Structure 1
Amino acid sequence: MKKQLYIVLITVFCILLLDQIMKIWVKTTFDYTGENSTMPVFGSWFRLLYIENQGMAFGTTFGASIWAKLGLSIFRIFASGAIAYYFIKQWRKGARTEFLLAIGLVFAGATGNLIDSMFYDFIFDYDPCIGFNHLEGSGIWSDCGIMGKQETRHTGFLMGNVVDMFQFTVEWPSWVPWYDKNGDNQIFPAIWNVADGAISIGVIMIIFRQRKYFPKDKQGLKAQPR
């Protein structure tokens, strides 16, 4: 059982380390506009694109008030705690290593994005005039020179942006019915990070492997995860 625990803990640590290395490297190396904001990785279908989002995975937001962002960050804390508790409970019951890894991936992803919100406003200089720091309806105004006054987001502990950088740039072929000649035809336009990827992989594993993780006994009742 200890071997299982070590495997998952090492995996979680490596994901968190890679996630933070990528975010800090992108944030300190890339510009938020201009030629240095992107970097092709695999030809024309995958690239690095530096952005920051104020919400959840893939840029989902919940409004402009301070309570919306604070509530989201607090939710992340409780979610990470609940996942950790569930992991320990399943580990003690002797759950399958693969299932524990799936839980660990979700935990690592949630924690990785939480770190950004908790500390990045203290580690990095805050520029209220950068586009991804604008937040209409916040009530916080900053003078941005030729841009005029702009409403900017709330800052501080649990208020930081999440750094994203990965983007698939593959477009739908022109023969599909929904192809728009004058629009954006990217198959998956969202920009994401290592943490988002870990959460997605963990959830997909649980969905597609649930019969293995939650086998049924002879009476048709679900047994404990294995």
Structure 2
Amino acid sequence: MTFGIVFLVLIIDQLVKIWIKTNFAFNDPSVPLIGDWFHLNFVENQGMAFGTQLGGGMWGKLTLSIFRVIAIGAIIYYILKQIKKPEVKLEFLIVSGLVLAGAAGNLFDSMFYDFIFRDYFDPCISYNQIEGSGIYAECTYYGYSEMVEVRHRGFLFGNVVDMFQFRMTWPSWIPWLGGSEVFPAIWNVADFAISCGVILVLLRQKIYFPKEQEKEKEA
């Protein structure tokens, strides 16, 4: 059941990403999905969930990808241990599966998308450029050519595809936040799965870890 959920989320995540990658181009206008507050907006990033990065350059990206591999291995090991416990709740296993699926979905992009979408690489697009890489490509802007530094490509270096964006702003009467975007990040199905899993663990930890809660009370 748990790994069935993982597989399902992974399939949905990758189908959406592949559809976006093959039907949208950089700088295409966003497409409203629900009113004017929820849009489809294709971007790529070199980081993790919601575009968060772990340092910059080749080593930052490589470190992030290796961290993902280790984290996924640890989560799988943890889930397998929990499955053997008779008292474990199915809901908790499913929630853990959501986190695993999300992490694996974004890792898949970094591992294989530079090979799957080899012909889609455009060195003149901002998310494919990175200072200090030492790898140069020629770009032409308005008839003027220049050499730009582009990111490393290959296994563990691929960009993550994002597409969903909330277009909501805080009411102007709210101090400090008024007029700013409620949630500016652009995200994908994998990010959503990770967020749901983490939030549920935080909200329902007393149910998922009853023994730990009892030990704290006794102490």
CA RMSD of aligned residues (A): 1.7
Match of 1:89 among 81, 86, 107: 81
Q: Which residue of 2 aligns with 1:78?
A: 70
Mapped contact 1:64–1:137 kept (Cα < 8 A): no
Q: Take 1:192 and 1:207, find their aligned partners in 2: how far apart are those partners? A: 21
Q: CA deviation at 1:131?
A: 1.6
TM-score with structure 2 setting the length? 0.91
Q: Deviations over 1:102-145 (max 9, x none)?
A: 11000000000000000000011222111211112222221102
Q: Take 1:217 and 1:80, find their aligned partners in 2: how far apart are those partners? A: 24
Q: Deviations over 1:162-199 (max 9, x none)?
A: 00001111111111112566xxx110000000000000
Q: Which residue of 2 aligns with 1:204?
A: 199
Q: Take 1:8 and 1:217, find their aligned partners in 2: how far apart are those partners? A: 23
Residue segments in structure 2 that go unaligned for 5+ positions in a row: none
3-state SS, counterpart of residue 101 of structure 2? helix
Q: Take 2:22 and 2:198, find their aligned partners in 1: how far apart are those partners? A: 31
Q: Take 1:217 and 1:165, find their aligned partners in 2: how far apart are those partners? A: 39
Closer, same or farther: CA 141–101 of 1 in aligned 2, 3 Å: same
Q: Take 1:89 and 1:43, find their aligned partners in 2: how far apart are those partners? A: 45
3-state SS, counterpart of residue 95 of structure 2? helix
Indicate yes or no: 2:5 matched with 1:11: yes
Mapped contact 2:114–2:158 kept (Cα < 8 A): yes
Q: CA deviation at 1:82?
A: 0.3
Q: Spell out the pairing of 1:29-40 with structure 2 (5 A cutoff).
A: 29-35=23-29, 38-40=30-32
The structure 1 segments of at least 4 consecutive aligned residues displaced by more than 4 Å after TM superposition are none
Q: Percent identity?
A: 56
Q: Which residue of 2 aligns with 1:153?
A: 151
Mapped contact 2:54–2:63 kept (Cα < 8 A): no
Q: Which residue of 2 aligns with 1:60?
A: 52
Q: CA deviation at 1:154?
A: 0.7
Match of 1:22 among 13, 16, 19: 16
Match of 1:162 among 160, 163, 174: 160
3-state SS, counterpart of residue 25 of structure 2? coil
3-state SS, counterpart of residue 216 of structure 1? helix
TM-score with structure 1 setting the length? 0.88
Q: Which residue of 1 aligns with 2:94?
A: 101
Number of residue equivalences: 210
Match of 2:186 among 188, 191, 210: 191
Q: Take 1:93 and 1:179, find their aligned partners in 2: how far apart are those partners? A: 46
Q: Which has the higher strand share?
A: 2
Residue segments in structure 1 that go unaligned for 5+ positions in a row: 1-6
